[in-house]
Chain A
Amino acid sequence: MILFALLGVLFGVVGGMGLGGGIVLIPALTLFMGMTQHEAQGMTLFAYLPMAAAALVSHFKQKNVNLKPALFLTLFGCVGGAGGYWLASGIEEAPLRTVFAVFLIVIALLRLWRGEIGPWLKKRRDTTR
């Protein structure tokens, strides 16, 4: 149980810094704690709530939230969320895990491209010109 709390702290620190913690909490739960893919996903959704709540309060206070689009997106998002859950609950552990792994790799590559490779290429192009 202490290990779960420690994982929670780690996830919270990463998430609190806005780096998106949930996406690594899931593999941590399946690879190290022996949870199934479905369990890890459900648990991560929960762990996200207290962390996001704290950040949200401060954003609302600073009036950073665009309320109208947020409400609109939420409405459609909840429909999508139910659809996503419906699909996830309908597929077996192994394929869900594989699809998630591919999703993880794609996101990681996208982040690398955005943060490092893209700007580096642009800089190179600009200096050689």
Chain B
Amino acid sequence: MKKGVKSAAVGVVSGFVAGLFGSGGGVAVVEGLERTGTEEKRAHATSLAVIFPISAVSAALYTAGGYVPLDSTLWLCGGAALGGIIGAYCLKRVGVRLLNNIFTLLMLAAGIRMLF
């Protein structure tokens, strides 16, 4: 029972983050799953299965709210699909740690830039 409540809370929080910020919900799900003893790979896969429908629902809500410009979004999605394939392919070849660190610094820089 207690585990169920915790799990429900993880679901609501990650959904809330995804809906509020349009991204970042996966972090909460992975965190929650790993804490309940799910191994990393399964936690990532499961979080993807959770965030996908949440994103779809949130995306529909944003569209209904008139926040989604159709044309540019379609181009963006096409690019993302192609990039996803390239990314998965590169995963086996490139040093992920360095990339991960560059990426993190980029996040930090973007965050600071957005504050001012």
Contacts and interface: CB of A to CB of B under 8 A. Distances in A.
A and B held together in a complex: yes
Interface of A: 1-2, 4-20, 22-28, 30-31, 33, 35-36, 38-56, 58-60, 62, 64-67, 69-70, 72-89, 97-105, 107-109, 111-112, 115-116
A22 B77 CA distance: 12
For the complex of A and B, list the 9 residue pairs with the smallest distance between their C-beta atoms, beginning with the closest.
Answer: A12-B83, A8-B79, A16-B87, A84-B19, A80-B15, A41-B22, A76-B11, A42-B62, A22-B23
Nearest to A78: B57
Nearest to A51: B84
Nearest to B41: A64
Q: For the complex, would chain B's binding face be called helix, strand, loop or mixed by DSSP majority?
A: helix
Interface in B65-116: 65, 67-69, 71-73, 75-88, 90-91, 94, 96-97, 99-101, 103-108, 110-115
Contacts of A49: 52, 55-56, 59, 77
Contacts, number: 364
Contacts of A27: 110-111, 113-114
A56 B80 contact: no
Nearest to A83: B16
B87 A12 contact: yes
Given A55-B88, A77-B50, A44 B23 contact: yes
Interface of B: 4, 7-27, 29, 32-33, 38, 41-42, 44-46, 48-59, 61-63, 65, 67-69, 71-73, 75-88, 90-91, 94, 96-97, 99-101, 103-108, 110-115
B26 A20 contact: yes
Contacts of A111: 100, 104, 107
Contacts of B62: 38, 41-42, 45, 85
A74 B50 CA distance: 5
A69 B111 contact: no
A51 B38 CA distance: 24
B82 to A, nearest CB: 5
Given A77-B14, A80-B16, A16 B76 contact: no
